[in-house]
Every structure is written in structure tokens, then in C-alpha cells.
């Protein structure tokens, strides 16, 4: 009998996860390298840092605004096509940056073209695709793919940094773009929109028993066929509100932490070390959150993550000793990326998979809006008060609201994970 | 304003931080830029190749066992 000798096959969903890890690795890694180009491009083209940073900030906004639209296209045409084509477009747009000669070109190409096409290759769509392959291990799978982005920054940034020393910034853009194109054949060959396409079931479950088949037909009471319907219920607003605060409290720090640490008397190297520790801790944090969220309530874990981050900001405001910075980094570091699997997982569990692309895009747009507002808010506060204390205080208070907003999500009532199986006929 | 170094979703990395990372790498390993590019470039190519090799090997094994 063939079945007795057939070697145990790895669940196809893990190939999807591995492919998405590489997509995040290459696409997010390449885009994160923008900071590398600030100095050489400014020097050659005679721009100041603020001008070139404007292109980066605009890129964040455009990318955020595009997410719901890309998510809608994803829901309609499937992830494999959208992601593969977007990867090609991201690669070509990145190559095109080598011909930058004026600010208008940079803004059009980086802030608009690249940000628009990037929303189809990174951001929320890849997590939505992974959500279709996993139900019980959804949090873990999304956490693993999120780690691909951190890994990309770890490898691609030194790669681009040293390549620039060898061939200059123009050819570095070209090589980075071609590296992204490298992911296209992998995506086309291995990505599949649904487990049924390869004769599998979510999580790699075997052919179900009658009991399991009934359990698989569970539907959450808020599962939507149209994305608009989700906005008639409270949980999407609670999830979005929390993610807005998440964007606010991560971007504010990403932009202002190094100058803040220098103001507190840390050397540049120490400030960078502290930030590096945070980078390592966020990898630990995201995996732990994803893994735990498959075993306990996602909304409670999300509340804990926001509360932990809020405590870290409170420490920053209340304690002015140098150790407070290190305490902040350790406490906040674990919470940094941990919200991604929890937020996407909750949205999928409550509203189902049919319109998840659009919904996850809208939730991510709220995150990016929070991020953009926070950057300007912190700068504005610093210019008027000469300190970041008010900005950190606002972040702490907002995180308190985000914690409460996560706690009140009626997960047990609406999440498909807690729904009873339909009765046998 | 600096580009954002550690956002959730892809944004630029802080130039000050990058300069420091480069300094640390140089002092730790003392590799030249060429060695760095070759080493990290090899990792970048090895990841998709590795995924495809595992996928095709397993597909061949499963098909062979079915026959």
C-alpha cells in the first residue's frame, strides 16, 4: 500500500510562509535601506537632510493610504497574482531610483510609485495570504513572516552599505531592485491563494472526521461578505483605534529616539546600541506573541502588549536617570512588533477571510496615519517646550486607551475560535 | 527629521545608526567591503534557492514513494 510508505510531507502552508519570509526579507529590507542613501544623495545632489526625509515621510503616508485599495484588489484577484506583479514593479521602481537627478523625480518615484506598488508586496497583504493557510497556528505563522522583515534589515542593510562603498549609490539602487525581482519566480512558483488549490486544509489537517468537518464550518457572527459591513460593528473600531496608537507610539520613537537619547547625555554609539538591543528584542517579542496568541485570548495578549509599552513610556517620562533609557528599551522592545500577529489574527478571526485584504489594509492605514501624526507632533512639542516629555506622556496616555480598547473587544462572542460547531443534521 | 529606523512597516533606517553599525562591523571582523558584499549577497541568493531545493526534493520523494 502506497500510503504506508509515503514519506510524511511538510504542510504546503509552510512553503507559503517561507516564501513570504523571503518576500518580507527582500522587499522590506530593500526599502528600509533608504536611510543609507540620505547622505550620499544629499551630498551629490545638493539637498539638505530634511528635504530628502520629506520624500521618506510622504512615502509612508502614500503607502498607508494605498493599503485598503491594494487589499481590495487582493480580495478580488488573489494574492499570488497581486504579490508577484507587485514584486516585479517594486524591483523596477527601485532600479529606476538610480536615475534620480532632482527632488521631483525622487518624490514621484520613491514616495508615490514605489510606495503604491510596495503596498501589494509588503504591508498587510502577505499576512492576509498567510492567514488563509492557518487557523489554529495563525498567530505563529504571521509572527514568523514578520521576523523575515527584521532578518532582511539585518542582512540587506550591510549588503547595501558595503555595496555603496564599492559601486556608489546609483548602482546600489539597481542591485537592490534586481534583488527584489529575484523574489518574483519564487512567489509565482510557490504562493497559492488557498489550501484547497493543493488539496490541503488549513493547518495541514488530515481529511476531517465528521466531527472535525462540522467544526470547520464554524462561522463567526460578524463574518462579512462586504468590507463595509464590518464598520457597523464595534470590534473593527477598537482594533483600528489600538493600531492607530500603535503607529503613533512606534513611529514617534523611531524618528525621535536617537536625538532624545543624545539629549539625555548618551553618546551616539550608546544611543545606537540601545536601539540595536531593541531591534533584537522585537524579534523575540513578535515570535512569543504570535505563539502565545494561538494558545490564549488574542485580545488579552494585545492589551498586555499595549500596557507594557505604555509602562515603558511612563518610565521615560517619570524617571530621568540614564538607566531609565535602558529600562525603556527592554520593556518596550518586546512589544514593538508583537502587535502585528495579534491585530491581523483578531481581524481575521472576527470578520473572516473573504474581505480580510481590504479590512487589514484599512487597519494598517490607521496605523500609518498615527505614525505620520506622531512624527510631526513630537517635533512640534519639542520645538515649543525644548523637551520630549509631553510627547512621551501623550504616548503613555494613548497606550492606556489602546489597552482598554483591546480589553473590551468581545472576542469570545465574535471570534470564530470560540464559536461552537454547527449541530449535526 | 530623520527617516524612521524601526517602524513596523518598511521605512528608512536612521543614517546615524547605520554609520555606527558599519563601524562596529569593521572593528569586529575587519572584512573589506568586497568580502561583505560577497558574504551577504550569498545569503540573499541562498534563501530562495534553499526554499526551492527543499520543495522540489520533497515533491520528488513523495512522487517516488507513490509509484
Q: What angle do CA A334, A254, A333 make, to 5 degrees?
A: 10
How far apart are alpha carbons A174 and A203 in whole angstroms? 39
How far apart are alpha carbons A204 and A138 in whole angstroms? 12
Tens digits of per-residue pLDDT, A188-208? 999 999 998 888 888 888 766
Chains A, B: CB contacts within 8 A come to 189
Kindly provide the ipTM of the predicted complex, given to two decimals: 0.80
Partner-chain contact B8 A186, CB within 8 Å: no
- B21 interfacial to chain A (CB closer than 8 Å): yes
The pLDDT-based confidence of A424 (bands split at 50, 70, 90) is low
Partner-chain contact A276 B16, CB within 8 Å: no
- B27 interfacial to chain A (CB closer than 8 Å): no
Give me the mean pLDDT over the A220-231 stretch.
90
Tens digits of per-residue pLDDT, A386-412? 888 899 999 999 999 999 999 999 999
Q: Is the pLDDT of residue A128 over 70?
A: yes
Contacts of A38 in chain B (CB under 8 A): 2-3, 12, 15
DSSP A173-217: HHHHHHHHHTHHHHHHHH--S-GGGGT--GGGPPSPPHHHHHHHT
Phi and psi for A311 in degrees, rounded to 5? -60, -40
CB-facing half-sphere around the CA of A110: CA atoms within 13 A:
32
Gap from B11 CA to chain A (nearest CA, Å): 5
In this structure, the number of other CB atoms found within 10 A of the CB of residue A225 comes to 8
CB A354 within 8 A of CB A132: no
- A318 interfacial to chain B (CB closer than 8 Å): no
- B46 interfacial to chain A (CB closer than 8 Å): no
- A278 interfacial to chain B (CB closer than 8 Å): yes
Nearest to B9 by CA among A33, A55, A360, A149: A149
Give me the mean pLDDT over the A299-311 stretch.
96
- Residue A384, pLDDT score: 86
- Residue A3, pLDDT score: 47
- Residue A329, pLDDT score: 84
Q: Is the pLDDT of residue B12 over 70?
A: no
CB A147 within 8 A of CB A21: yes
Q: What's chain A's average pLDDT?
A: 86
How far apart are alpha carbons A239 and A284 in whole angstroms? 23
**Structural domains for chain A:** 9-193 (1.20.1250.20), 220-416 (1.20.1250.20)
- A31 interfacial to chain B (CB closer than 8 Å): yes
Instruction: For residue A49, give the 3-state DSSP assignment.
Output: helix
Partner-chain contact A161 B47, CB within 8 Å: no
Quick one: CA torsion of A246, A252, A254, A258, rounded to 10 degrees? -150
Query: Percent of chain B having pLDDT more than 90?
Result: 30
Q: Is the pLDDT of residue A360 over 80?
A: yes
- Residue A173, pLDDT score: 94
Residue B45 CA, distance from chain mean position:
8
Give contacts of A 169-188 with B, CB under 8 A.
179, 182-183, 186
User: Which has the minimum average pLDDT: A7-16, A131-140, A247-256, A349-358?
Assistant: A247-256
Nearest to B18 by CA among A282, A180, A255, A160: A160
What DSSP state is assigned to residue A24? I
Query: Percent of chain A having pLDDT more than 70?
Result: 91
Tens digits of per-residue pLDDT, A329-349? 888 888 888 999 999 999 999
Higher pLDDT pick, A347 / B5: A347
- Residue B8, pLDDT score: 47
Partner-chain contact A186 B6, CB within 8 Å: no
The pLDDT-based confidence of A255 (bands split at 50, 70, 90) is low
Mutate to test the interface with A, among B25, B38, B48, B62 (most CBs of A within 10 A): B48
- A247 interfacial to chain B (CB closer than 8 Å): yes
Q: Is the pLDDT of residue A2 over 60?
A: no
Give me the mean pLDDT over the A14-35 stretch.
88
CB A375 within 8 A of CB A60: no
- B52 interfacial to chain A (CB closer than 8 Å): yes
Query: What percent of the residues of chain B are helix, what percent strand, and what percent coil, each to the nearest 5?
Result: 75, 0, 25
Tens digits of per-residue pLDDT, A51-103? 776 777 788 788 888 989 999 999 999 899 999 999 999 999 999 999 999 88
- Residue B9, pLDDT score: 45
Q: Is the pLDDT of residue A243 over 80?
A: yes
Amino acid at each position: 500500500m502506497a500510503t504506508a510508505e509515503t514519506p510524511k510531507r511538510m504542510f504546503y502552508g509552510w512553503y507559503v510562509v517561507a516564501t513570504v519570509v523571503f518576500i518580507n526579507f527582500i522587499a522590506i529590507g530593500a526599502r528600509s535601506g533608504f536611510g543609507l542613501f540620505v547622505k550620499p544623495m544629499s551630498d551629490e545632489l545638493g539637498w539638505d537632510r530634511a528635504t530628502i526625509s520629506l520624500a521618506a515621510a510622504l512615502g509612508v503616508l502614500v503607502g498607508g493610504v494605498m493599503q485598503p485599495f491594494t487589499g481590495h484588489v487582493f480580495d478580488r484577484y488573489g494574492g499570488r497574482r497581486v504579490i508577484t506583479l507587485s514584486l516585479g514593479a517594486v524591483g523596477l521602481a527601485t532600479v529606476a531610483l538610480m536615475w534620480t537627478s532632482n527632488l521631483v523625480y525622487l518624490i514621484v518615484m520613491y514616495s508615490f510609485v514605489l510606495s503604491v506598488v510596495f503596498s501589494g508586496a509588503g504591508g498587510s497583504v502577505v499576512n492576509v495570504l498567510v492567514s488563509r493557510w492557518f487557523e489554529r497556528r495563525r498567530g505563529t505563522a504571521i509572527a514568523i513572516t514578520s521576523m523575515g522583515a527584521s532578518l532582511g534589515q539585518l542582512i540587506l542593510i550591510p549588503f547595501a552599505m558595503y555595496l555603496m562603498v564599492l559601486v556608489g549609490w546609483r548602482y546600489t539602487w539597481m542591485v537592490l531592485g534586481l534583488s527584489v525581482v529575484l523574489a518574483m519566480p519564487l512567489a509565482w512558483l510557490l504562493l497559492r491563494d488557498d489550501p484547497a488549490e493543493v488539496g490541503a486544509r488549513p493547518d495541514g489537517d488530515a481529511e476531517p472526521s465528521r466531527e472535525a468537518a462540522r467544526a470547520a464550518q464554524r462561522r463567526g457572527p460578524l463574518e462579512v461578505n462586504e468590507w463595509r459591513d464590518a464598520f457597523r460593528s464595534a470590534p473593527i473600531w477598537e482594533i483600528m483605534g489600538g493600531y492607530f496608537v500603535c503607529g503613533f507610539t512606534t513611529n514617534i520613537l523611531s524618528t525621535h529616539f536617537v536625538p532624545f537619547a543624545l539629549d539625555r547625555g548618551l553618546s551616539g554609539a550608546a544611543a545606537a546600541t540601545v536601539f540595536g538591543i531593541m531591534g533584537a528584542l522585537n524579534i523575540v517579542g513578535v515570535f512569543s506573541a504570535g505563539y502565545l496568541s494561538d494558545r490564549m485570548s488574542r485580545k488579552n495578549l494585545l492589551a498586555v502588549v499595549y500596557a507594557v509599552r505604555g509602562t515603558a513610556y511612563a518610565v521615560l517620562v517619570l524617571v530621568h536617570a540614564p538607566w531609565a533609557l535602558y529600562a525603556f528599551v527592554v520593556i518596550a522592545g518586546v512589544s514593538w512588533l508583537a502587535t502585528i500577529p495579534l491585530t491581523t489574527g483578531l481581524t481575521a478571526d472576527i470578520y473572516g477571510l473573504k474581505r480580510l485584504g481590504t479590512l487589514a489594509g484599512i487597519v494598517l492605514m490607521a496605523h500609518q496615519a498615527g505614525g505620520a501624526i506622531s512624527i510631526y507632533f513630537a517635533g512640534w512639542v519639542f520645538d515649543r517646550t525644548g523637551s520630549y516629555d509631553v510627547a512621551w506622556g501623550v504616548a503613555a496616555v494613548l497606550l492606556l486607551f489602546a489597552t482598554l480598547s483591546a480589553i473590551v473587544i468581545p472576542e469570545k462572542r465574535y471570534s470564530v475560535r470560540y464559536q461552537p460547531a454547527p449541530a449535526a443534521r | 527629521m530623520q527617516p524612521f529606523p524601526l517602524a513596523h512597516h518598511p521605512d528608512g533606517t536612521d543614517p546615524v545608526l547605520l554609520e555606527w553599525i558599519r563601524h562596529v562591523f569593521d572593528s569586529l571582523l575587519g572584512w573589506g567591503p568586497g568580502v561583505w558584499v560577497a558574504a551577504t549577497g550569498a545569503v540573499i541568493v541562498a534563501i530562495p534557492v534553499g526554499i526551492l531545493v527543499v520543495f522540489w526534493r520533497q515533491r520528488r520523494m513523495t512522487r517516488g514513494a507513490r509509484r
